[in-house]
Amino acid sequence: MKRNWLNYLPTIFVICIIVSLLAYNVQGNTVQMNYTQFESLSKHATFDDSNLDINDTVITVSGTYDDTHKKGHDPVEYSVIVPNTDENINWLKETLSKDGGSITINNPHSGDIWVNLLAQFLPFLIVAIFFYYMFSRMGGGSSQNKAFEFAKSRANMEQNVKTRFKDVAGCEEEKEEVKEIIDYLRSPKKFTDMGAHIPKGILMVGPPGTGKTLLAKAVAGEANVPFFSISGSDFVEMFVGTGASRVRDMFKNAQKAAPCIIFIDEIDAVGRQRGAGMGGGNDEREQTLNQLLVEMDGMTDNSGIVVIAATNRPDILDPALLRSGRFDRRITVTLPDIRGREEILKVHARNKKLAPDVSLHNLAQRCPGFSGADLANVLNEGAILAVRNKEHQITMDDLDEAIDRVMMGPAKKSKKYNEMDKKLVAYHEAGHAVIGLKLEDAEKVQKVTIIPRGEAGGYNLMTPKEEKYFHRKSELLAQITGLLGGRTAEELVYGEVSAGAVNDIEQLTKIAKNMVRVYGMSSLGPIQYADPQGNVFLGRDYTQGGSYSEGVAGEIDKEVREIVHQCEVKCRKILTDNRDLLDLIAKNLYEHETLTNEEIMNLMNYGELKNPNQKVEEPSLPPVPDQTTEKQEPEKEEKEEDEPKGIDQKDLDDAFNELTKRKD
């Protein structure tokens, strides 16, 4: 890694100090004297070699001398400056050469004046550079954190964005919504001629990993305009006014590069509702928001700057930020459906070496609820597993294991059950599987395993038979019944329950509470008793009282218990009626540890892991012949070749009889 030359300045500074000290020590042996002292010394001293530097006004005399008053001492170096007059020049020549000393006269103009000036000003220059370097490093070494650039914008500008719409899959409707932005940035005149105003801001809302940032970047790539990207937290600092200054600087830079796109990720970090702080608002954050509102003022026309923001908490944003004229358009980027997941897998599989048996459509069916980031992670985990297994291609088994790793974590194969626990887990997972097979509205069982993953001792991979936007009451009841399958199977077989169903109980309780409090699917009627999003904003919701009375709370608890009780009764009946299937699946799980959908269906239909009616075509390889076969086979072929293929006697008799009948 190349280091900046400024990093060497402290070392250079220390070296210069050492050299200066050494030069000072060298000069410290030279006796500096004035003209009077030198005149007194010249009366009794003996001068050796001397140098005269004659300037316009003064003469610099240097050399060595022996003091006759001090016997036994070494020659002493001296230096003196005398006025430049004719009398002094003659006196110096006479005095310095009286004892046979030599005199050297130097021309002061023969040396390089720039070298002399540099020698004089070099120490000051080094000190100045050192202090500038120290001040520039006060911000932590980053070019964006320097002391003189503290209030500058931290937005990163990318000129040539390579991302295009072909790199964004699974959100076709969302891409249609932003095409007008691309047309405006390319040719704004046709919009202004029609009297249309392009939205100043677009707010992208959706779960994490659905591709909001990627879509915003693709808009800049398709429009071929600069792309400024920054996070909402980059505006907030401990110094009041810094965030507002950065907002002003960001829009100032964007105006110079217009037309362009400003992308603010996680805008809820700076755009939360004002006046909602606990014990007082955050002045720095609110001032930053106020400046952002001013820069996005809806009273002026668009100056070629389109602001795109992303968040997964639109409910806590300030209403002034969401009004028309600022963020005019809201685009909801949802989780992809099966077709979208397949398209996303195709995009991320471009540089992957997939085996011929890999079906991206089947893989998409196994990943309901996965975001684009999750699907990319599945393919990446599959590639890593293929490398780990020293394979040349990514197989379907690698991708199947990758799905399990993304959902539940790596398999803990070293963790071994004792016999009792292994049978218990087998019956628990078999209970889930039986409910999925026998209950009409239940989800489809794709895979059952008792290999521990994460905090779970085993798990069922169950996917919906078809993806829907809304769930009916019967489907929600079927989900609760399926979640109760493991716990009910344990109680049915062993007469007691274990703590392994804690995650199932948590999920079914959440579904049952939503049915009563949010969806109105109980005898309490279509009344909502809770926030459907379930997200609490402390600054706004903490001080609010409950939305229902204590009596209603008791009725809600009663309805939740009634829903769970009805599902538990139904679950127990299904498992009791299908006890043989429960034992069969649990037995095979105990032996094989993992069962696929095909194997489970074979157990239900045929009682075996493999379909006995399915004929497996084996390759017809010729047997190894012995000596007898080698001798008889050619004779048989020759005999077949020698057989006549013409008209035999029987054919002639039949023809004769036929002619006789016709004659009669």
Binding-site residues for ATP sit at 206-213
Q: Is the bond preceding residue 319 a cis peptide, omega within 30 degrees? A: no
- Cα–Cα distance measured from residue 450 to residue 587, given in angstroms and rounded to the nearest whole number: 12
- On whether the CB atoms of residues 482 and 439 are closer than 8 A, the answer is yes
What angle separates helix 283-295 from helix 242-257, to the nearest 10 degrees?
20
Helix (H, G, I), strand (E, B) or coil at 66: strand
Would you state the structure tokens that stand for residue 189, as one six-digit string? 């005149």
Active site residue 39: no
- Cα–Cα distance measured from residue 518 to residue 511, given in angstroms and rounded to the nearest whole number: 10
Binding-site residues sit at 206-213, 428, 432, 504
- Cα–Cα distance measured from residue 463 to residue 524, given in angstroms and rounded to the nearest whole number: 31
List, edge to edge, every strand of the sheet that includes 58-67: 31-33, 76-83, 58-67, 45-54, 103-106
All residues at 6 or more sequence positions from 260 whose CB lies less than 8 Å from its CB, including other chains: 220, 225, 226, 227, 228, 254, 304, 305, 306
User: What are the strands, taking DSSP E only, across 372-449?
Assistant: 444-449
Please give the full DSSP string across 305-334, using - where no structure is assigned: EEEEEEES-GGGB-HHHHSTTTEEEEEE--
Please give the biggest Cα pair distance in the chain: 179
Nearest to 78 by CA among 66, 94, 70: 66
Binding-site residues for Zn(2+) sit at 428, 432, 504
List the catalytic residue out of 174, 266, 342, 429: 429
Contacts 24+ apart (CB under 8 A), 440-447: 440/478, 441/472, 441/474, 441/475, 441/477, 441/478, 442/478, 442/479, 442/481, 442/482, 443/478, 443/479, 443/482, 444/597, 445/597, 445/600, 446/366, 446/596, 446/597, 447/400, 447/594, 447/595, 447/596, 447/597
Question: Residue 494: what are its φ and ψ, rounded to 5°?
Answer: -105, -5
> What does R_g of the chain's alpha carbons equal in angstroms?
46
Residue 546, amino acid: G
Q: What number of other Cβ atoms are within 10 A of residue 263's Cβ?
A: 27
Active site residue ranges: 429
